[in-house]
Structures are given as structure tokens and as C-alpha cells.
Structure 1
Amino acid sequence: MAVDGAAAGVLRPHAEHAFARELGALRAADDRPRPPRWQLSPWGVATYLLGGTLPDGTVITPKYVGPRRIVEVAIATLATDRALLLLGVPGTAKTWVSEHLAAAVSGDSTLLVQGTAGTPEEAIRYGWNYARLLADGPSADALVASPVMRAMAEGRTARVEELTRIPADVQDSLITILSEKTLPIPELGQEVQAVRGFNLIATANDRDRGVNELSSALRRRFNTVVLPLPATPEDEIDIVSRRVDQLGRSLGLPTAPDGGDEIRRVVTVFRELRSGLTTDGRTKVKSPSGTLSTAEAISVVTGGLALAAHFGDGLLRPGDVAAGILGAVVRDPAADRIVWQEYLETVVRERDGWQDFYRACREVTR
């Protein structure tokens, strides 16, 4: 999947730049009603996320492979005054969907607050230029607007990543913003009122439950959409193949011919260890401590392509992905190594056509 509007030399262009051609074609073809300040109609946003072919023949590549209804509910939420919370296990494309929704709705995915344990309240509300503050006192010129404040003033979509990583008292600074659509600035005796078009997308990892649990007051301000893991192996293989192709192009890696077999093996291993059951339903296996997400599968295959390109013959082989799989599976050196070795001996070793893969994995496991 080629990116169509990336600036030369940029390692990871923003979605609105990477897919500028597709977004432009959609804007030209989209004659449906658009909410205030939206770049596309809800139909156009859904087509951008899920893919399709426009009347002029332009192919819109899918950015998300999953249930259509989930995407429609997320887009419909953004068209109301409710904020959107994308919830799911690690690697279910929450950040990816958030970025592309903001790019399609507002044409700008950069109004972003990255949640961490050290995120201060100023990152969500506003801060101060302390040189100006000391020289002139509180003033509009000394105020530093947060991405959320800018989104409110400009009628755009703000993003808050990893909301449950943010301390609870900082999270709650969103309550007034989301309920009253107002951000008070008591130091100036002023407030910023959100203009039409403003909304907010937050993401949260449901494995972080209990880290900084959302208060009931804040949770009520969101409409929660749960992003599931890919439903079928074919869906997950499709996702991994598309993202690996895109990442490979951005990194300048050659396309590996006949790499599909190794992608299928990586996805199969991850799905079986994740579910605790082989694909034929006959053998139960132990699950390791890690998540073994689709995002990790993408990373394993991309790393394998780099090995094949720079230290091999350009063909993606079992030995190129074996070390990456080991690193993804064995997070706990003691317990996970036992799980992995049992899986290799009871499942991989006996599987037809997997002998080269088995030998490569055994070699890096020793």
C-alpha cells in the first residue's frame, strides 16, 4: 500500500499527508451533507477508513479492517456532542483509527496529547510562557494553548492517547471541557468556548484497567467503542500484509516476493498462543504473558524483511522471523520460555510444511 502524499525524507508522515491524494479525491466526489467544519461527510469518512472505489475510478485503500458497524458508530459519535473513547487490548489499531478519523474529519491529526504517568494538567488545558509571565504578568500573549484548547477554538478534532495512563486528577480536567464545551482561564477572567466542529477522541488500553481508572463522571462524557482483535486469520494476515508493505516502502526496504507464507506462519503462531488453542481446535496450548498483538506481528515481519534485505537474499525465510517471534513471545524469561518451548515441540514440530520454521525457531531458542 503506497503512501500518496508523503513529504520526502519523512519517516512517518501524518495521515493527512500520507493519504492526501485519497482525501482530495474523496472531497471532490463527496456530495453528501457534512457536519460543521468537517472535511468530509460521515459517508466520506467511512469510505476513507474502510476503503472503496470512487465514481472516477480512484481506489481508496482500507485503513481499518474490521466490522463496518464499529466504524460507523465511531463516526456518528463524532458528529454529535459526545466524545469518543476507543477501547481495546494492545495492538487493536486504536491509535491508528484515531489518527485517521481526525485526518478525515478535520484534515489535521496533530492536535494530540500523549498520555503518560507524567502528563500534567497543562497538556490538556493550557500552560504559560514563563519569561512573558514574569515580565508582564498573566496575559493572552503569555498563555500557551494546549492541543485541546486549539481544537476547541478552531472547531477541530483533538486526540488524547492512552487516557488511562494519565493521573486521575489530570483526567478530570476534561470533564468541564466535554460537558460544558468550555475551558475557563481564571487567571485572565476569560474562557474559551468550543466552536462547532470540535470533538475529542481518546484511546485506552483495557489491559490498563485499575492503573488510573476513569471516574464515572468522565466516563459518562464518552461514547465507548471497543475495537476487537481481527476476527479471522485472513483478516489479520491482510492487516499485517498491508502495514508491512506500507512500512517497508517508507523505510526503503525491497518488497519480498513470496513472503506470504512467513506472514501466515507468524499470524498463526500469534493467534494460537493468544487464544490457547490451535487453529484446528484439537490441541490446547499455554498462553504467554505478552499480548501478541497484530501490531507486534507487523513489527516481527518488518524486522524479518530488514534481515532478508540486508543480510540475506531478499527472500523472507523462517530464519528471518524466528528471532522476532521469540522476542515477542518470551517477555518473562522463565515462564514464557517454557510456554514457547512446549508450543514448538507439541505443535510446530508436528505440523506439515513447518520443518524449516521449527528448526529456525529451535536455533534461536537455545
Structure 2
Amino acid sequence: MTTIDPAPGLLRPHAEQAYAEELRALAVGDDRPRPPSWRLSPWAVVTYLLGGTSADGTVITPKYVGPRRLIEVAVATLATDRALLLLGVPGTAKTWVSEHLSAAISGSSTLLVQGTSGTAEEAIRYGWNYARLLAEGPSDAALVPSPVMTAMRTGAIARIEELTRIPSDVQDALITILSEKTLPVPELGTQVQAAKGFNVIATANDRDRGVNELSSALRRRFNTVVLPLPDDEDDEVAIVVRRVEQLGVALELPRIPAAAEEVRRVVRVFRELRSGITADGRTKLKSPSGTLSTAEAISVITNGIALSAHFGDGTLRAYDIAGAVLGSVIKDPVADRVVWTEYLEAVVRERPEWSDFYRACREITG
């Protein structure tokens, strides 16, 4: 398996840094039509996301494991005048997909607005250098462009994370930008018109519905693609193994094989608890309050490897992952503890091959 080669000294390289060689190889051999300002053709962007081989034989590692049609729809949307909204529960790789789409299309994933309850309109439109504003009055030199304004000027992709966390009145600053492809600057009597290639990728957590719902006017400007949790256990195991290996390289953790047995065990625990039924379909279960996503499974295994490397014998064992599993499942200390205890006694205890995991969990659970 090909792994990332992070830029030296960086804890978390941007996609365009970590996968620069793959992007270069795809661009060199890409003879398909490219929309204005795109670094790659839509076909090559999909290949970059889903994996394949470039014209010169370079292996393109999969960045996303899931239905090909979803990624094709997402890429095709960005080649039109409609913005893209990636929707899903936490841990379904919305941010990951957004970053890699931006890297492949624009060569940069850093034109980013992080949505929070405190995000102001200036983060989407523009702000001011107040020292220059007071000294000189409104001027181009005093204006501080937002990532969205910069993307409009350069014909690039702007990213907006957690759109539904942003207050509704601030969200609506996007309406004119997305419909007219124009950002007025009334203080200067001017406007910024979007260059060809400009578009927006927004992400939203469907568990945030009701927090700051998108207005119907804004929702119409987006094409929504729902990213699901992996349907197949083998696919989810493959995702976890790949991302754990990549994180191990980036974090410079001592090399410890991510034991397939432990990875599959964590994935199965999470899948059974979030679906409310065991893998064999025989036992119905209560589900905890958390999402128990693939991203959390990756975190559990990575934490287990760190424990084994620094405090264990260098082999990933049940005892190394038990604590992190418990922390992922029990978000509500009362209700979730009941759910976990019932699962532990009714399911884990009845699987002889999981006896080591049962003992480790009981020791930590108390």
C-alpha cells in the first residue's frame, strides 16, 4: 500500500502537500476536458478521490471508500453553477472529501471558513484592517478579503465547514454570492465578480438539524450529496486500517501493525451499537447517544497503537483499545453506561473468542 509522504516537520499536511506526487501524475497524463480554472478534469478528480492508476503508472491511493456515483455527482455539481453541500452524520468523511475535492480542483484546500455559533458575516464577505481604515478611510488597501472573496477573485473552490452551525443571518450572506456570483462592497462602491472556476463546498452535520436551518432561498443554491456510513463491514475495516497507517506515519508513532483482529473487533462493536442489532441479526440492542463513526474507530485504534508502543509490548491487544472504546461509547455517563453494560454482558461475554476483550472492558468499566 502506498502511504502519504508528509512535508517534513508538519503534523498534518494539507491534501495538496501530502498527495502532491499523485496530483502531479494525474495532471501530466490528463487529456480529458477540464472546466475553466480546474487543475484536473472531472474524471481525474474522481480517480484521485476513489483511487486508480495515472497514465504514467503512478498508483493513486483511495481517499474515500463509498459509492462511486456519489463522488461523480459531487464533482459534476462543482462543474456547474450550483454549490455543493456534503451532508451526513459525524465521521462520514465530509471534511476529508471537501478538502480533497478542493486540492484536486484548485490545487489548494486552504480557502476555508470554519463555521461556529460565533462566525461573523465578515468571515464570509470581507473585513477591514481597522488601523488603516481609521487612518485612511475605506480603501482597497484597508479591505481584508475573506476566503470566499479570494476564491471568487481567483476562480477557486471555497470551503465552508459546519454551515448549519453558522447563525442564519450570516448564512444568508451567501445568497447573493451563490446566485449572482457577485460580492458587493458598498463602502467602496465596487463589487467582486467571480472568476470562472469559482464554487463553494459546504459541509453540514445532519444531527445539527434545527440548530440553524438553511433558509429555502439558500438551500436552493446547493446541490446536496449525503455521505453515508459504510454499508459493508469489510469496507469500514479497510478504511480504518488505511487511515491508521497514514496517521501513524504523520504522527511518527513507532511502527506497530494494526492487528486486523482488533480493528475488526472495534468496527463490529461500533456497527452493532449504532445499528441496534448484532451482526448475526439475532439480538436487538440499545444504541448509545454518540454516533460511533468510522472516524472514532480510527481514533480508538490509533490511541491503542500509541499505548502499545509506549506502555505495552509492541503488539496491539484488547487491553490497549478497551479504554478508548469505553470513552467513545459512554458520552452520557448514566444512560450510555447502561447501554454499554448490557452490550458487554449480553453480547461480548457470549463470544468466547472475545474473552480477552471482555476481561479488559470489565476491568476498566469496574
Say yes or no: TM over 0.5: yes
In structure 1, distance between residues paired with 2:175 and 2:53: 40
Residue 45 (structure 2) pairs with residue 63 (structure 1): no
Residues 327-342 of structure 1 mapped to structure 2, 5 A cutoff:
327-342=327-342
> Would you say the 8 A contact 1:2–1:246 is kept in 2?
no
> Would you say the 8 A contact 2:233–2:267 is kept in 1?
yes
In structure 2, distance between residues paired with 1:221 and 1:181: 11
User: Partner of 1:257 in structure 2?
Assistant: 257
Residues 129-168 of structure 1 mapped to structure 2, 5 A cutoff:
129-168=129-168
User: Partner of 1:96 in structure 2?
Assistant: 96
User: Partner of 1:85 in structure 2?
Assistant: 85
Residue 253 (structure 2) pairs with residue 287 (structure 1): no
In structure 1, distance between residues paired with 2:110 and 2:272: 37
- Write out per-residue CA displacement over residues 102-155 of structure 1, whole angstroms, 9 at most, x where no aligned residue: 000000000000000000000000000000000000000000000000000000
Gaps of 5+ in 2: none
Residue 212 (structure 2) pairs with residue 212 (structure 1): yes
In structure 2, distance between residues paired with 1:257 and 1:170: 47
In structure 2, distance between residues paired with 1:67 and 1:254: 34
**CA, structure 1 residues 318+81, in 2 after alignment: closer, same or farther (shift >3 Å)?**
same
User: Partner of 2:17 in structure 1?
Assistant: 17
> Would you say the 8 A contact 2:304–2:321 is kept in 1?
yes
Q: Tell me the TM-score normalised to structure 2 length.
A: 0.99
In structure 1, distance between residues paired with 2:95 and 2:266: 23
Give the Å deviation of 1:258: 5.8
> Would you say the 8 A contact 2:287–2:339 is kept in 1?
yes
Gaps of 5+ in 1: none
User: Partner of 2:272 in structure 1?
Assistant: 272
Give the Å deviation of 1:163: 0.0
Residue 242 (structure 2) pairs with residue 246 (structure 1): no
User: Partner of 2:233 in structure 1?
Assistant: 233
Give the Å deviation of 1:3: 4.8
Give the Å deviation of 1:255: 3.0
User: Partner of 1:299 in structure 2?
Assistant: 299
In structure 2, distance between residues paired with 1:158 and 1:293: 26
In structure 2, distance between residues paired with 1:194 and 1:231: 39
In structure 1, distance between residues paired with 2:342 and 2:10: 43
Give the Å deviation of 1:2: 5.3
Give the Å deviation of 1:5: 4.9
> Would you say the 8 A contact 1:4–1:20 is kept in 2?
no
Give the Å deviation of 1:7: 1.7
> Would you say the 8 A contact 2:2–2:61 is kept in 1?
no
Give the Å deviation of 1:57: 2.0
> Would you say the 8 A contact 1:87–1:224 is kept in 2?
yes
Please identify, of 2-11 and 136-145, the stretch whose mean Cα deviation from structure 2 is larger: 2-11
Give the Å deviation of 1:352: 3.0
> Would you say the 8 A contact 1:300–1:321 is kept in 2?
yes
User: Partner of 1:120 in structure 2?
Assistant: 120
Give the Å deviation of 1:4: 4.2
Q: What is the identity, as a one-letter code, of the residue corresponding to 1:75?
A: V
User: Partner of 2:311 in structure 1?
Assistant: 311
Give the Å deviation of 1:6: 2.5
In structure 2, distance between residues paired with 1:2 and 1:169: 45
Q: What is the identity, as a one-letter code, of the residue corresponding to 1:320?
A: D
Q: Tell me the TM-score normalised to structure 1 length.
A: 0.99
Aligned pair count reads: 366
User: Partner of 1:349 in structure 2?
Assistant: 349
Q: What is the identity, as a one-letter code, of the residue corresponding to 2:305?
A: L
Q: What is the identity, as a one-letter code, of the residue corresponding to 1:298?
A: I
Residues 170-189 of structure 1 mapped to structure 2, 5 A cutoff:
170-189=170-189
User: Partner of 1:358 in structure 2?
Assistant: 358
**CA, structure 1 residues 3+133, in 2 after alignment: closer, same or farther (shift >3 Å)?**
farther
- Write out per-residue CA displacement over residues 308-349 of structure 1, whole angstroms, 9 at most, x where no aligned residue: 110011111000000000000000111100110000000000
In structure 2, distance between residues paired with 1:318 and 1:53: 37
In structure 1, distance between residues paired with 2:258 and 2:326: 22
**CA, structure 1 residues 4+362, in 2 after alignment: closer, same or farther (shift >3 Å)?**
closer
> Would you say the 8 A contact 2:48–2:62 is kept in 1?
yes
